[in-house]
Amino acid sequence: MAQTTQVPGSAVPARSLSVFDATALMVGMVIGVGIFGTPWLVAINSPSVGWYIALWVVGGLVSLLGVLCYAELAGRHPDAGGEYNFLTRAYGPGLGFLFAWGRLTVIQAGIIAAIGFLFGQYMSRLGQFDGFGWANLGTYSDAAWAMILIVTLSLINYLGTRQSTRLQNVLTVTLVIAFSVIIVLGLTMTPTGEVPRLSKPFDPMDAAIGQAFVFVMLTYGGWNETVYLSGELKNPQRNMVRVFLLGLFIVTAIYLLLNLAYVNVLGIDGVRASRAVGTDMMKAVAGTTGALLITFVILTEIGTTLNATIFTGARTNYALGRDFRIFGFMGQWSDVRNTPANAILVQTILALILVCFGALQQDGFKVLVEYTAPVFWSFMLLNGIALFIFRSRDGRPVDSYAVHLYPVVPALFCVFCAFMIWSGVSYAKLNGLAAVGVLLAGIPVYLWARSANQRALA
């Protein structure tokens, strides 16, 4: 571990999260707006409806590989620092610092800003409905709504863990109920309105299953954030694997049933032709009222995801401040609120800066996704390799969950991560290189931070 410099008078995280709390956070982190935006990209690259559904099943199984690996890592070393803690223990404080730096400046701030932009886009679209003209705030409406949501949810998280987890539980339960209603409508009703049509017949030879799978996994992304709850979860050695498996089961079930509903109402060609498959499905079965309903579901979904992302993101910043003196401001844990209050504040400021950057681009969401993807998958690969290091050095865990079928499961997970790195670099181009540049800027910062720690201990 790094040479820690625990902030004087600072409290430590209390183990206050139940399995239900943590599962609600995980479901909220994974189920993002992607399930309404990526299906057409998966369908257009799937040769048949059978392939289309099979890819969503395989996506759940591949996610299961990662979930099992991370469950062992979190059970071995439960800590609010999550992946930062794993990387530091496996590779040393240098790589751990670079991860925390990358998460602070690239990954988490970028993801929060990107999710905020999605909220802004849908709020602005709400202005198209009668009686909701106020939702369009003008030229920078998307960015303005992004800032409003980020600040509001960050404030709730700043005020206390109890407040933020209660909000998350309510949002997640509401979201699951809403999805259940949409699924039932989609599986039991036939379209009464027009459905999208392809401009020309689909040729199965144009399908690209590998590309389709990239979008499936993008939609399943976010489960890794659950490890940041291990420092506050009750009995993490036993409960982390329960949270991971229960959360992934809920997500996979919703994704499969929702995609079956899409196909039932629109047909596979209708899914291929639709850029807003959820809206088109609800329009087909319930008209304008259905379209308005799905818009509110999506807004709730985005809020659920963002709240969970803010909650977990600040935990890495806290661990960085706990272990490195120059970031000590972020390493203070509020005993009264049971939150990393200062870490949340820093995270909010950085996310708002990236929102301003995105507002100047043609497509702020796309740019921010390109900015984060290559760095994200690179560190996930290193976490997969870390499991081999821990097994070699410390043996099979006795008092916590151990991955079955070792080393096959972590090896397959690492191969998948390498594939996603290649895909991310190919897609991101200049924005990905900018993120790598920001990450490498962390090297001199680490040398400074290490020197400050050594002087403090001298």
Gap between the Cα atoms of 73 and 82, Å rounded: 9
pLDDT at 8 over 60: no
pLDDT band at 406, cuts 50/70/90?
Answer: very high
Range of the domain at 338: 19-457
Give the CA angle between residues 224, 242, 36 to the nearest 5°. Answer: 50
Q: What is the pTM of this model?
A: 0.81
Question: Does a structural domain hold residue 11?
Answer: no
More confident residue, 408 or 354: 408
Q: What is the pLDDT of residues 430-445, one digit of tens each?
A: 666 777 788 889 899 9
3 within some domain? no
pLDDT category at 53 given cuts 50, 70, 90 is very high
- pLDDT confidence of residue 65: 95
Structural domain includes residue 14: no
Q: What percent of the chain has pLDDT over 90?
A: 31
**Is residue 1 situated within a structural domain?**
no
Encode pLDDT of 14-48 as tens digits: 777 899 999 988 998 888 777 887 898 899 888 89
In a domain, 2, yes or no: no
Within 189-276, residue ranges assigned H as helices are 209-220, 236-273
Task: Report whether pLDDT(10) > 60.
Answer: no
Rg, C-alpha atoms of the chain: 22
103-112 core/surface letters (b: 16 or more CB in 10 A; e: else): bbbbbbbbbb
Q: What's the chain's average pLDDT?
A: 85
Would you say residue 140 lies in a domain?
Answer: yes
User: Alpha-carbon torsion 265, 269, 270, 272, what sign?
Assistant: positive
How do residues 201-255 score in pLDDT, each as one tens digit? Answer: 666 666 678 778 878 888 898 898 888 888 888 888 889 899 999 999 999 999 9
The answer to whether residue 93 sits within a structural domain is yes
The answer to whether the CB of 448 falls within 8 A of the CB of 387 is no
Contact (CB, 8 A) for 194 and 187: no
Residue 96 within a domain? yes
Are 428 and 106 in contact by the 8 Å Cβ rule? The answer is: no
pLDDT, tens only, 65-105:
999 999 999 989 888 778 989 999 999 999 999 998 888 88
Number of domains in the chain: 1
Q: Which residues of 409-442 are buried (b: 16+ CB within 10 A; e: fewer)?
A: bbbbbbebbebbbebbbeebeebbeebbebbeeb
CATH number of residue 180's parent domain = 1.20.1740.10
Query: Cα dist. 236→24, 230, 421 in Å?
Result: 16, 6, 30
